Structure 1
Amino acid sequence: MPGAITGKTVVVVGGSRGIGAEFVRQFVAKGNRVIAGCRQPSQAKELAALEGVELAEVDITSEQSVEAFAASVQQLTPHADYVINNAGVYGRRVGFKDVTAQDMLFAFTTNAIGPLLVTKALHKAGVLGGQQPTVIATVTSKMGSVDDNTSGGSYAYRASKAAVNIVNKSLSIDLAPNNCIATLLHPGYVMTDMTGGAGLIDAQTSVAGMIGVLESGVELQGAWHAWDGKVIPW
């Protein structure tokens, strides 16, 4: 689906802050309708004030909440042109000696299982693909690249992102017959709450770059691109 993304319906999951909120702002600024999934919509007052934004509650760690969210999206629109799976967590910043099973499960539940459940529920609700294509873009991290791991550590976060990468690859195969494109986006090292304000680029630059990838006409199906257009090795 190359070309400027405008006049579309975009679902942004994890849209209340950081990268997600910036996705909402930039998609609206480009003339799109945005349905933003948030844990606590009542606290997303800035986004609610934007013309073209509708908020829907979702906790992607709860299958029941995800099903209710998909039903809400279905009531708001018959078709989503783009779905941005952005919700994610880092978890405790511990190394090999301190990582626990709970650390691993916490990261996996949100980062790997959550995007799968969201995509499954939206597909079941009938708002993905069909006569019109849907691009499902999952925001992952280069830290989930086996090839790129030269420093070790970050077991839970790395493993959960590697897991969602393979989830996306399977989605790209299984949903292709339904006119869906499943792709991965790496936002870069972004200055957000998750990074404690550290980073190399700001959220505006990161999101503009990722939207640019979606608009560029490069092959998206089953692919993995960084915000600057570079292909990330698996």
Structure 2
Amino acid sequence: MATRLIDAKTVLVTGSNRGIGLQFVKQFLSKGNHVVATARNVDKATELQRLVSENEGKLTVAPLDLCDPESIARLPSEIPFERVDVVVNNAGVSANFRSLEDTSSGVMMDTFRVNTVGPLLVAQAMVASGKFGGGDDKAILANVTSKMGSIDDNGSGGSYAYRASKCALNIVTKSLSIDLQDKNIDTILLHPGWVRTDMTNGRGLIDDVTSVKGMISVLEDQPELNGKWFDYKHEAIPW
């Protein structure tokens, strides 16, 4: 039985113009939520704009560039709601899963800026704005990570920038789960599985519908969220 239905709430999803992020938007809308979806280039987010016209008053599209701290700082002012109940930090880059020979300082830093620093600054900005956390009802901060960021699970090496950035996101999330407790925010990591999206060049074991449905069910059904890490099948991931 669900412990915390996510319906009739306000949800922020970053990186929403395609793939997993877009699917989060669709499924949260189908559950009767107000959704704020972000994209780097709002004008080119054609599918989101179509959804806006089909969900009048329910969907807001806001600009967000995780490489730009000023864009992140402006995000709360782009949200036309007093409170946000759920934040899903989904936006990220893959760095093309580079080998040792192809890895450079630039690739490492660019990947960290989006995958690690970006979600942290989004959480910081949302909490500082007073729109997220601090209320009587429990809020949820869900950071979408990858099992490739698990030290224990790494049996194949490589992918230095992506693995390191997601591993760093994991420890950032753990710290947030401690620091945001007094704000009445549960902070959790979600692993979507190997999903067939543009980022994976259409390869994968599952589609985005299955992945997102599973991750939302984790947020709704798991008895304890704070400081935990689950995949879309509700299986705990080793750190």
Taking the aligned partners of 1:93 and 1:220, their CA distance within structure 2 comes to 29
Aligned to 1:79: 83
Q: In structure 2, give the amino acid aligned to 1:10.
A: V
1:30 aligns with 2:31: yes
Question: C-alpha deviations, 1:82-106, integer Å up to 9, x for none?
Answer: 0000000011332112211111111
Unaligned segments of structure 1, at least 5 residues: none
Q: Superposition pairs for residues 38-57 of structure 1, below 5 Å?
A: 38-50=39-51, 51=55, 52-57=58-63
Match of 2:96, SS state, is coil
Q: Is the 8 A contact 1:92 1:103 kept in 2?
A: no
Unaligned segments of structure 2, at least 5 residues: none
Q: Is the 8 A contact 1:133 1:180 kept in 2?
A: yes
Q: In structure 2, give the amino acid aligned to 1:128.
A: F
Question: C-alpha deviations, 1:120-165, integer Å up to 9, x for none?
Answer: 0111111111123210000000000000000101000000000000
Q: Is the 8 A contact 2:97 2:162 kept in 1?
A: no
Aligned to 1:70: 76
Q: Is the 8 A contact 1:10 1:82 kept in 2?
A: yes
Q: In structure 2, give the amino acid aligned to 1:135.
A: I
Q: Is the 8 A contact 1:213 1:229 kept in 2?
A: yes
Aligned to 2:228: 223
Match of 2:47, SS state, is helix
Deviation of 1:2 after TM superposition, in Å, equals 2.5
Q: Is the 8 A contact 1:48 1:54 kept in 2?
A: no
Aligned to 1:109: 113
Moved more, 48-57 or 197-206: 48-57
RMSD, matched Cα: 1.1
Q: In structure 1, give the amino acid aligned to 2:20.
A: I
Q: Superposition pairs for residues 132-143 of structure 1, below 5 Å?
A: 132-143=137-148
Q: Is the 8 A contact 1:206 1:227 kept in 2?
A: yes
Deviation of 1:26 after TM superposition, in Å, equals 0.3
Aligned to 1:60: 66
Aligned to 2:171: 166
Question: C-alpha deviations, 1:36-70, integer Å up to 9, x for none?
Answer: 01111112232233311110000011100001112
Taking the aligned partners of 1:113 and 1:143, their CA distance within structure 2 comes to 18
Aligned to 1:154: 159
The size of the alignment, in residue pairs, is 232
Taking the aligned partners of 1:41 and 1:2, their CA distance within structure 2 comes to 35
Moved more, 222-231 or 64-73: 64-73
Aligned to 2:199: 194
TM-score of the pair, normalised by structure 1 = 0.96
Q: Is the 8 A contact 1:13 1:86 kept in 2?
A: yes
Taking the aligned partners of 2:4 and 2:71, their CA distance within structure 1 comes to 34
Q: Is the 8 A contact 2:97 2:160 kept in 1?
A: no
- Calculate percent identity across the aligned residue pairs: 48
